[in-house]
Amino acid sequence: MEKPQENFENFLLQSNLDSVKKFFDKKQENKMDLTNTPWITLAVGTELQRLLKDRVISPGMKVLEVGCSIGVESCFLAKHGMNVTGIDFIPKTIEVAKKYAKLVGADVNFICCDFLKLEEKGLKGTFDFIFDQGCFHHVPIADRNKYAEKVASLLKREGIFFLRSFSNRMIPSPTNDGPIRLSSDDIYNNFYLYFITEHLYLFNNLPLPNPTSYKPQIFWSYLGRKR
């Protein structure tokens, strides 16, 4: 595993959960507009689709999506016969998620809450599958172990955790306020106490246009099975 490549300005701006909330509030201060939320593509990630195709996940499973945004992937799994709960801590996002689920005819339990404070919403029990498409790379360093412990506590024995996150192979955020770029060590070392790593690799996610270039986002794909 390579040594983490640190971006201290990025860590400073997302050093606590309040600063993370401010980042999203600023992005969505007027409305849920795709120009402010370029991470919303209405596309289901091929990495998640592969888990379904390969029967790693299957109908009937109890599923939790952490940081569900407007619920595209939560709805996708619900339409494939899974019992899905999606959580996000931005109220406007959850409002749109509920409308999207109604539009596509998906039965998903959407909850507005902070993942690290789920107990305040009374969400208990165990899940077969928990996935995160863009939450962990916003989690401040001081809260990462708490995050991993929370995921493990909500999964049944040998339950599956799937994570996609920004990697340190990506170009730095031009505004230094986006997701933290993570190394493989940042992921592996944080989760190995609770999970047996089944895969950890880089892949090119959908590219996002900007005024000077059109480069792919280089993400990590991590799959762990609870010990």
Q: Which domains does the chain have, with CATH numbers?
A: 8-27+48-226 (3.40.50.150)
pLDDT band at 176 (very low <50, low <70, confident <90, very high): low
In contact, 82 and 59? CB cutoff 8 Å? yes
Is the pLDDT at 16 greater than 60? The verdict is no
pLDDT digits (tens, 9 = 90+) for 184-222: 999 999 999 999 999 999 998 876 656 556 677 899 999
Which one is predicted more confidently, 3 or 58?
58
Look at residue 161 and tell me whether its pLDDT is greater than 60. Answer: yes
Q: How far apart are CA 39 and CA 206, in angstroms?
A: 9
pLDDT tier for residue 9 given thresholds of 50, 70 and 90: very low
Q: Which amino acid is at 226?
A: K
Predicted model pTM: 0.82
Question: Two tokens at 24?
Answer: 């999203």
Give buried/exposed letters for 93-119 (b at 16+ CB in 10 A, else e).
bbebbbebbeeeebebebbbbebeebe
C-alpha of 43 from chain center: 14
Buried b / exposed e over 64-89, threshold 16 CB at 10 Å, is bbbbbbbbbbbbbbbebebbbbbbbb
Closest C-alpha among 192, 180, 199, 202 to residue 226: 192
Q: Looking at 13-17, 91-95, 133-137, which range is the least confident one?
A: 13-17
Q: Are 130 and 159 in contact (CB under 8 A)?
A: yes
Judge contact between 151 and 161, C-beta under 8 A.
yes
| Identity of the amino acid at 186 | D
Lowest average pLDDT, out of 32-41, 48-57, 88-97, 209-218, goes to: 32-41
Phi, psi of 22 (to 5 degrees): -65, -35
Res 175: pLDDT: 62
Average the pLDDT over 121-140 and give the result. Answer: 88
Q: What is the mean pLDDT of residues 91-105?
A: 92
